[in-house]
Amino acid sequence: MKTVLVLILFFSNMVFAASNALDKVLAEGDIILQQSQSEQAAAIAEATDSVWTHVGIVIKKSGEWHVAEARGPLQITPIKTFIGRSRNNAYKVMRYGMFTQKMLPKLYAALYKYNQPYDIFFEFSDERIYCSELVYKVFREVTGRPVGLLQKIKDLKLDGPFVKKLIEERLTAIGRELNPEEPIITPVGLLSDENLTFVHESL
């Protein structure tokens, strides 16, 4: 029992230290990535060959740092909670050079414009939305220029066991087929933008 309590305190302190370090460098509109631990995240990691499987936008709520994320519908999550959900509390924060703090009102308006149900099919429509699509479309709305590299489904690695299982469960099982030409923006695809600069990451 003592060992369990020590481990809980240890990981709680890790999250606290991480959020303390972030407090000094964050700005609203920063992009924060995490290493999600869901079955879907395993498929995303396999398809994109990247550990970064979930992403959100940093905002402030009641004076505290939060993350706006597409989890169906839009959720505003305390940044400590967001980091705590990540594998080993891992995170990476990037800043989009085309965005300025004067654009904050537009940012908030765009976030709620895309407050839609979560898109389990990863289709590029506005009726449903997934995490990296939210980031892509919000910054396109606010700055006039989307962030990251838009790909097609066929550009991803689709032959791994986690990806095949996800396709079977979400598409094949209900009689739908994967559209290889469907546009897609992935968490790691966002990182390819030359206008992104590094802000902070977990050690």
- The pLDDT tens digits of the residues spanning 70-83 come to 998 999 999 999 99
**Which tokens sit at 92?**
């990476």
Compute CA distances 78 → 10, 48, 83, 123, 126, whole Å. 20, 27, 9, 28, 26
- pLDDT at position 67: 98
- Per the CB < 8 A criterion, the answer to whether 153 and 178 are in contact is yes
DSSP state of 102: G
User: At 1, is the pLDDT very low, low, confident or very high (cuts 50, 70, 90)?
Assistant: low
- Express as a percent the part of the chain with pLDDT over 70: 90
- Can you say whether residue 46 is alpha, beta or left, with left for phi > 0 and alpha for psi between -120 and 50 degrees? alpha
In the chain, where the domains are located: 2-201
pLDDT digits (tens, 9 = 90+) for 151-172: 999 999 999 999 999 999 999 9
Helix (H, G, I), strand (E, B) or coil at 184: strand
Average pLDDT, the chain: 92
The residue among 169, 66, 87 whose CA lies nearest residue 121 is 169
| Omega of the bond leading into 73 within 30 degrees of 0 (cis) | yes
Q: In DSSP terms, which residues pair with 67 in a beta bridge?
A: 58, 77
2-201 belongs to CATH 2.40.50.140: no
In whole angstroms, give the CA distance from residue 156 to residue 135: 19
The residue among 121, 147, 128 whose CA lies nearest residue 29 is 147
